[in-house]
Chains A and B, each alone.
Chain A
Amino acid sequence: MTAVLELRGVTKSYGDRQVLKGIDLTVNEHNAVALIGASGSGKSTLLRCIDLLEDIDDGDVLLDGEVITDPSVDPIKIRRRLGLVFQAFNLFPNMTIAENVALGPRRAHREPKDEALARAHELLERFGLEGRERDYPDRLSGGQQQRVAIVRALATNPRALLLDEVTSALDPELVGEVLAVIRDLKRDGMTMVIATHEMAFARDVADEVCFLHEGLIAERGSAEQILTDPQRPETQRFLRRILETQRL
C-alpha cells in the first residue's frame, strides 16, 4: 500500500489557542479516512493545513513521500495536486458553472480554453449536472452547488480529495445526492480525507475513522469499530450526543 498523504506531529495555533496538538495520520492510496469530532476539534484546520492554506507550526505533511510543508516547496504547485471542497461550496458567483469547473485547468494547468471547457462539460455530465453548464451558481440548489464544487475539485485530477463537512450547510433532503457522489468517487478509487458529521455515511465509505478531540486524534480504527465499539470515554460521549440527532 502506498501512502499518498502522511502527517507527522502536525501542530497549529491561532494566537494562544493550539488547535492541532500533534496529529499523526497516514492515508493510503484508494483509501478514505473520515475525521469525526465536535465543531472546533480541528477537522477543518487539519484539512486546510494539508492543502497548505494554513502554515503549520511544527511537524511535517508529506504528499507521495515528499515533505510539502518545507519552506522551499511552492504551495501553489502542491495545491494543484490536491482537491479541496468547502462546507459553504465557495463557487465563484461571477462565473458560469462550466467556467467554475474549467478555471483551475485553464489558469493553473494552462490547458487551452476549448479543451478545459469540453472536459468541464464531460465531468458535469458524469455527475448529473448536464444542462446547467451556462447557469450561474445562484440558480442552482445547494446540493447541486456542492456537486459542482466537487466536480471543480476533480477537474484538475487531484491525487487526493479533501472534503470539509461538505453536507453541513445543506438542507437535509439535499444531503443524499452529495453523499452519493462521494460514494461513487470512493468506488472509483479516489483517495480521500473526509471531515464529516454523517456517521452512517462515514461507516459506508471510510476505511478508517479518526476521532479528533481537542486537537489530537483521540481514537482511530475501522469505521465499524469506532462507531459501534468506541473505547475512549470522549469518543463514547461524542457518539452518544450525535446519536441523539442521527440514527446509525
Chain B
Amino acid sequence: MIVTSPGWTSVRESFFSWYWFRHSFSDVLSAFWLDVKMFLILEAIVLVFALLVALCRNSRAPALFPLRLVATVYTDLFRGIPTILLIFLFGFGIPGLAIKGVPTDPLVLGGAALVLSYSAYVAEVYRAGIDSVHTAQTAAALAVGLTRGQAMRYVVVPQAVRRVVPPLLNDFISLQKDVALLSILGVIEALRQAEIDQGLNFNSTPLVAAALLYICVTVPLARVLDHMQARARRRQQAVMV
C-alpha cells in the first residue's frame, strides 16, 4: 500500500534517503549521547525523589500532616499539567524572572521539569506498591520491635519496589523518549540535531535516523520489561501453588 502509493517516490527520497542517512548519522548519534546521559541522570533522580514523595504520602504520624499535604498537592498538580507545558514554563519562565543564583541552563531547567513531571507518576507507582504489601507484614515487623519507619525501610519498601519494577520500567521507556522534549528549549539533543540537519539539507532522513536511535534503546528496554513481567508471573504462580 505504502510502496505503491502515488507519493511514495518523493517520500522515500525525503525520509529514507541512504545518502542523507549516512551524511547525518554521526551528527545525530553524537547528539544522542546527550539524550542517553540526560536519561540516566534524570531517571536516577526520579527514582529517589518519587520514593520520598510516596513515603510522605503514606506517612501516618499526625505531625507529618503538612508533608503529606504537600506531597498530595504536588502529585495532583504535576500529573495534571502536560509535560511539554511544564518544560516551557520552566525553560522560559524561570530565566525570565531573572532571580540571582537560579540556574538558567536549559538542560538544568528542562531536566528539573521532566523530573518533577515524572516523579509525580512514579510516586503513584511506588505508592500502589507500598499499599499492595499486606498490613500483616507491617504487623509482623512491629511485633519484633521495629518502629514504623524501620518496618517501612526493611520490610515494606523492599517488597513494594520488587513488585513495581515492571510499571517502573514502563515509565523509564517513556522518560527516555521524552528527553527529546528538551529540544524545544534549544538543547541540541538527537531530535534537535536531526531537525538542524533536516533544515540544512532540505531532507527529512535525519529524523528517521533519530527515531532509529530511540528504538535501539527502547526496544531492548521493553524486552527486559517483558522478561521481568514473565518472571514475576512465574513467581506469583509458585507462591499460589
Chain A residues at the B interface, C-beta cutoff of 8 Å: 48, 51, 53, 76, 79-80, 82-84, 86, 88, 90-94, 103-104, 107-109, 138, 152-153, 155-156
| Across-interface contacts of A107 in B (CB, < 8 A) | 145-146, 150, 154
Q: List 29 A-B contacts (CB under 8 A).
A: A51-B143, A53-B143, A76-B146, A79-B143, A79-B144, A79-B145, A86-B139, A86-B140, A86-B143, A88-B136, A90-B136, A90-B137, A90-B140, A91-B140, A92-B140, A92-B155, A93-B159, A94-B159, A94-B162, A103-B141, A103-B144, A103-B146, A104-B144, A104-B146, A107-B146, A107-B150, A109-B145, A138-B239, A156-B144
Interface size on B, residues (CB 8 A): 19
Q: Does B219 contact A (CB under 8 A)?
A: no
Q: Which residues from 153 to 172 on chain B have a C-beta closer than 8 Å to any C-beta of chain A?
A: 154-155, 158-159, 162
A86 vs B134: C-alpha distance in the bound complex, in angstroms? 14
Q: Do the beta carbons of A84 and B158 come within 8 Å of each other?
A: no
Q: Do the beta carbons of B146 and A86 come within 8 Å of each other?
A: no
Q: Does B98 contact A (CB under 8 A)?
A: no
Q: Does B238 contact A (CB under 8 A)?
A: yes
Interface bits B63-99 vs A (CB < 8 Å: 1, else 0): 0000000000000000000000000000000000000
Closest B residue to A78 by CB, please name it.
B145
| Across-interface contacts of B158 in A (CB, < 8 A) | 94
Q: Does B108 contact A (CB under 8 A)?
A: no
* Distance from B75 Cβ to chain A, minimum over Cβ atoms (Å): 26
* Distance from B232 Cβ to chain A, minimum over Cβ atoms (Å): 13
* Distance from A118 Cβ to chain B, minimum over Cβ atoms (Å): 18
| Across-interface contacts of B137 in A (CB, < 8 A) | 90, 92
| Across-interface contacts of A94 in B (CB, < 8 A) | 155, 158-159, 162
A92 with B141: in contact, given A86-B136, A107-B150, A138-B238 (CB under 8 Å)?
yes
A108 with B159: in contact, given A86-B139, A90-B137 (CB under 8 Å)?
no
User: Which of the listed residues B144, B150, B154, B238 has the most CB atoms from chain A within 10 Å of its own CB?
Assistant: B144
A80 with B145: in contact, given A93-B159, A94-B155, A94-B158 (CB under 8 Å)?
yes
| Across-interface contacts of A86 in B (CB, < 8 A) | 136, 139-140, 143
Closest B residue to A101 by CB, please name it.
B144
A156 vs B137: C-alpha distance in the bound complex, in angstroms? 18
Extra contacts besides A103-B154, A152-B144 (16): CB < 8 Å: A53-B142, A53-B143, A76-B142, A84-B143, A86-B143, A92-B140, A92-B154, A92-B159, A94-B162, A104-B144, A104-B145, A107-B146, A107-B150, A107-B154, A108-B144, A156-B145
Closest A residue to B144 by CB, please name it.
A104
List of 7 A-B pairs having minimum Cβ-Cβ separation, nearest first? A108-B145, A104-B144, A80-B145, A90-B140, A84-B143, A94-B158, A90-B136
A48 vs B143: C-alpha distance in the bound complex, in angstroms? 9
* Distance from B83 Cβ to chain A, minimum over Cβ atoms (Å): 34
Q: Do the beta carbons of A153 and B144 come within 8 Å of each other?
A: yes
Closest A residue to B158 by CB, please name it.
A94
A94 vs B162: C-alpha distance in the bound complex, in angstroms? 9
Q: Does B132 contact A (CB under 8 A)?
A: no
Q: Does B9 contact A (CB under 8 A)?
A: no
A51 vs B146: C-alpha distance in the bound complex, in angstroms? 13
Closest A residue to B160 by CB, please name it.
A94
